[in-house]
Amino acid sequence: MVGIATYGVYIPKFRIKVDNIALMWGLNPEDVKRNLDVHEKSVPDMDEDTATIAVEAARYAIERVSLDVGSIGAIYVGSESHPYAVKPTATIVAEAIGAGPTMTAADFEFACKAGTAAIQTCMGLVQSGYIKCGLAIGADVSQSAPGDPLEYAASAGGAAFVIAKEGVMVEIEDTCSYTTDTPDFWRREGAPYPTHGGRFTGEPAYFKHIIGSARHLMERTNTKPEDFDYAVFHQPNGKFPAKVASELGFTKEQIQPGLVVHKIGNTYSAASLIGLAAILDVCEGGERIMLASFGSGAGSDSFCMKVTDEIKKYKDKVPSVQKFSENVLYLDYAGYAKHMGLI
């Protein structure tokens, strides 16, 4: 069965606390933290961008299982902060990891769900036999206008997944999507920061689409929330995934291992995928996991996954998600502004 042959993540080591951002804009930090359930977020170094982050995550994925990069037939990088408007990030990644040139590559964009869309595309190519394995990456150095509510969470990180048929550590039993044209969040060509519809990003966007795709998946697979050991949802803040889990009937215990937004913020295209990686880090084989991403604009991709015993062989070969939250360096707002190129 098609599934995940290996995975890797990368999160920059810099952090800024929500307190520092709130104080800069004259807001009560406790109010902001309570409202968003986010305490700090990752910040890219001055020379990091989506391409470098994608490369780091891909290298860890390859290193975990000592993957033969020559077997990679497709590389897709999902992001909403590709360094170039025209020129692919995926080719930079391919060259950096030594893949190609007899392969295909492209960049994906679907707000925060481009990474899961890349996984679905790789699944199709692998399942049909066109390629042996495909590399799907979600990575972002998320943009947010200074002072915008997005600024408290928009962060940087990436996750890479190799999709294959043989020797998988996770079988993907099914996937489906829920897609509509919903303008909840967007960035026009040439605009430096995204615009969003405030509260409109909640019920008619995030909740409607995740609930739509998750319920559709459970119908297709004839499963119920209690059939899953873990669930991970897109996490733009801490409140939304907790609420959507509760509405769908999942418990706090099921989502806790994959809820990483409190400490790293919203890594946009990587958010749900880093959450999945955090769950895989603690799996021993046999667990069933649901993943539901969300991308503004809007859509959600859901996956029903079963962890195999293969996963035990590759534990702790490369840094876990937890490891990236250790030995971090905190920036004040001035340092953050410098890292983000604001000054």
Residues with catalytic annotation? 80, 112, 234
Closer Cβ to another protein, 195 or 246, answer by number: 195
The distance of closest approach from Cβ of residue 195 to another protein in the complex, given in angstroms and rounded to an integer, is 8
Q: Which of residues 52-81 bind another protein (CB under 8 A)?
A: none
Question: For residue 143, which amino acid is it?
Answer: Q
The distance of closest approach from Cβ of residue 153 to another protein in the complex, given in angstroms and rounded to an integer, is 18
Closer Cβ to another protein, 56 or 184, answer by number: 184
Q: Which of 1, 46, 95, 199 binds another protein (CB under 8 A)?
A: 199
Q: Which of 26, 101, 192, 198 binds another protein (CB under 8 A)?
A: 198
Closer Cβ to another protein, 174 or 203, answer by number: 203
29 counts as binding another protein under rule CB under 8 A: no
Q: Which tokens hold the place of 72?
A: 């990679």
Closer Cβ to another protein, 169 or 205, answer by number: 205
**Binding window for another protein (CB under 8 A); candidates: 104-112, 192-200, 239-247, 280-288:** 192-200
Q: Which of 186, 193, 200, 314 binds another protein (CB under 8 A)?
A: 200
The distance of closest approach from Cβ of residue 208 to another protein in the complex, given in angstroms and rounded to an integer, is 9
CA distances from 18 to 33, 141, 198, 336 (A): 7, 17, 19, 12
State how far the Cα of 52 lies from the Cα of 62, in Å rounded to an integer.
15
Q: What are phi and psi of 196, to 5 degrees?
A: -140, 160
Q: Which residue has the tokens 């709130």?
A: 22
State how far the Cα of 259 lies from the Cα of 104, in Å rounded to an integer.
33
Q: Which of 203, 219, 226, 332 binds another protein (CB under 8 A)?
A: 203
Q: Which of 29, 83, 146, 204 binds another protein (CB under 8 A)?
A: 204
Angle, helices 89-97/50-65, rounded to nearest 10 degrees: 40
**Burial label, 113 (beta-carbon count in 10 A; 0-12, 13-18, 19+):** buried
Closer Cβ to another protein, 83 or 197, answer by number: 197
Q: Which of 1, 30, 31, 284 binds another protein (CB under 8 A)?
A: 31
Edge to edge, the sheet with strand 40-43 lists 40-43, 14-17, 329-330
Q: Report, in angstroms and rounded to the nearest whole number, the Rg of the chain calculated over CA atoms.
A: 18
Closer Cβ to another protein, 127 or 179, answer by number: 179
The distance of closest approach from Cβ of residue 207 to another protein in the complex, given in angstroms and rounded to an integer, is 11
Q: Which residues bind another protein (CB under 8 A)?
A: 31, 195, 197-200, 203-204
